[in-house]
Copies of this chain bind each other. A is one copy, B any other.
Amino acid sequence: MAKQLIFNIFTLNSVSHIFHGMWRHPDSKALQHNDLDTWLELARLAERGCIDTIFIADLAGQQGVYRGSTDMLAERGINFPVSDPEMLLSAMIATTENLGFVYTRSMIQQPPFSFARAASTLDHLSKGRVGWNIVTSYLENAYLNVGHTELTDHDERYRRAQEYMEVVYKLWEGSWEDDAIIADREKGIFADPSKIHRIDHVGEHYSVQGPHLVEPSPQRTPVLFQAGASEAGRDFASRHAEGIFLMADSPADAAAFIDDVRARLVAAGRQPDDAKFIAGTSIIVGSTEEEAERKAAELDEYVDGESLLAQYSGVFGADLAALAPDMPLAELAQQTSAVRGILEMFIDRLPADSNPTVADLGKYFSSQYRIVGTPESIADTLQAWADAGVDGFNIIQMTTPGTYTEFIDHVVPVLQARGMMKREYAPGTLREKLFPGRAARLNDRHPTQGYRKTTMPV
């Protein structure tokens, strides 16, 4: 029997996400991203199609300088403006029953105490359907927006992230015991104070008294997602994440990454299947291969390649337009303070003996992450990725909601017929839906376990 795969709608509360320029397409509703109806419609569509989650990316600042300024970001709507994803959630929760919601929150956006409280509230409101995509911002502007004077060093970011996780785990898992709430109207006793604990965290970066202001939600800790391509990122993901997002050029490429991270999971005391691996791809479907290719070619007329260079200038922390085309990428990797890991990943993928240069980046960017074909051939391709170890997909939009409508109307029935996708939602929380047979709360192999006993009473 085929493995049932996870399918998420991957989006951004913005004019543009990944395939920049697509907002210009007449069918795109990206310009209406500040209209709540756009999101309610998307949530209902997703649930109709048995989609697992709406997975909302985010940026806490502008991408970087390209061609000497940030002008192009506004001019072409490159991940900018970008509204707050967290504010969308309760509306979509109210309009659905089973759909999950994974939202991105950077650790620099607010103190861990405030974030943990918001996430617990959402997990309550959704009856346990929330996931958190853990992000340590890599954009200098994001740091300058919240009082830092410069971008924090990459490895230092992960050390700080480790402490942030400790704090939220203490709040989510350790502050309230399971039987703290009594809610006895007759006796007038709401809770047993001896079972509610301050966390009294004092660390290098954070100092948090507690107790958590929200009683335990169905999942306590929301389902944890992360994307980490660098060494530090892979280590972090293998310790914490239950869903690991990756962008790969091929099933073989994905398999290499997955094998590496699964080994790290084991090294961290977890099981290889304690995390799901989710690959990003778009899908373009036609009733014949020719029709699909023709649709892809038509859509491509709207994709703006230079916007992608501008975006990656932010990712790499270097103005790609200002670099000499023959500058070796290895040299660029030495200079950047931002996402060195992603750059190293690019270098790994380009021909090893070619000493890849900046010019090769442009060539690389034009190989777009998407699957084009008939519903049957798309299912075949997805199966090839599944055979390589991928557990599911974040579906990137060409147009929204068009990409998702077509996927749901035409590809989902084929996947269901092949047993590659569920026909109805499993009961329970998002964690139980994503990990059939497991509990609503994280298992004992996860580091949250270490924070479940708190002895100091309030």
- A positions within 8 Å CB-CB of B: 13, 15, 21, 23-26, 31, 34-36, 40, 59-62, 69-77, 80-84, 86-95, 109-111, 113-114, 117-118, 120-122, 124-126, 141, 144-147, 149, 180, 183, 185-186, 188-193, 196, 206-215, 217, 304, 458
Provide 9 A-B residue pairs closer than 8 Å at the C-beta atoms, listed in order of the A residue: A21-B188, A34-B124, A86-B87, A87-B118, A91-B93, A109-B111, A145-B208, A147-B208, A149-B207
* Distance to closest chain B CB from A440 (angstroms): 15
Q: Beyond A208-B147, A458-B71, is A83–B117 a contact (Cβ under 8 Å)?
A: yes
Q: Beyond A90-B88, A210-B145, is A31–B458 a contact (Cβ under 8 Å)?
A: no
A15 to B183, CA, bound (A): 10
A252 to B192, CA, bound (A): 43
* Distance to closest chain B CB from A360 (angstroms): 26
| Of the residues B24, B73, B206, contact of A147 by C-beta under 8 Å | B206
Q: CB distance A125 to B210 under 8 Å?
A: no
Q: A34-B124, A76-B188 are in contact. List 17 more A-B contacts (CB 8 A).
A: A13-B121, A23-B185, A23-B190, A34-B121, A34-B215, A36-B126, A61-B209, A62-B211, A71-B193, A74-B196, A81-B215, A83-B124, A87-B121, A87-B125, A88-B125, A90-B90, A110-B114
Chain B residues contacting A144 (CB-CB under 8 Å) are 207-209
Chain B residues contacting A87 (CB-CB under 8 Å) are 86, 89-90, 118, 121-122, 125
| Of the residues B80, B89, B185, B211, contact of A24 by C-beta under 8 Å | B185
* Distance to closest chain B CB from A284 (angstroms): 20
User: Of all chain B residues, which has the CB nearest A86?
Assistant: B118
Chain B residues contacting A40 (CB-CB under 8 Å) are 94
Chain B residues contacting A186 (CB-CB under 8 Å) are 24
Chain B residues contacting A193 (CB-CB under 8 Å) are 69-75
A81 to B192, CA, bound (A): 12
A93 to B94, CA, bound (A): 11
A126 to B37, CA, bound (A): 10
Chain B residues contacting A95 (CB-CB under 8 Å) are 94
* Distance to closest chain B CB from A365 (angstroms): 18
Q: CB distance A114 to B124 under 8 Å?
A: no
Q: CB distance A125 to B213 under 8 Å?
A: no
* Distance to closest chain B CB from A261 (angstroms): 31
| Of the residues B13, B82, B91, B109, contact of A91 by C-beta under 8 Å | B91
The CB with the most chain B CB atoms within 10 A, among A23, A35, A209, is that of A209
A40 to B95, CA, bound (A): 11
A83 to B82, CA, bound (A): 26
Q: CB distance A111 to B110 under 8 Å?
A: yes
* Distance to closest chain B CB from A112 (angstroms): 9
The 7 residue pairs across chains A and B that have the minimum distance between CB atoms: A77-B190, A110-B110, A90-B91, A34-B124, A144-B209, A71-B193, A91-B94
User: Of all chain B residues, which has the CB nearest A73?
Assistant: B193
A144 to B82, CA, bound (A): 32
Q: CB distance B121 to A84 under 8 Å?
A: yes
User: Of all chain B residues, which has the CB nearest A75?
Assistant: B193
Chain B residues contacting A212 (CB-CB under 8 Å) are 81
User: Of all chain B residues, which has the CB nearest A180?
Assistant: B74
A358 to B34, CA, bound (A): 52
* Distance to closest chain B CB from A212 (angstroms): 8
Q: CB distance A191 to B83 under 8 Å?
A: no
A83 to B118, CA, bound (A): 7
A208 to B141, CA, bound (A): 9
Q: CB distance B36 to A94 under 8 Å?
A: yes
A458 to B78, CA, bound (A): 15
A26 to B23, CA, bound (A): 53
Chain B residues contacting A215 (CB-CB under 8 Å) are 34, 81
Chain B residues contacting A81 (CB-CB under 8 Å) are 191, 212-215
| Of the residues B73, B76, B84, B189, contact of A75 by C-beta under 8 Å | B189
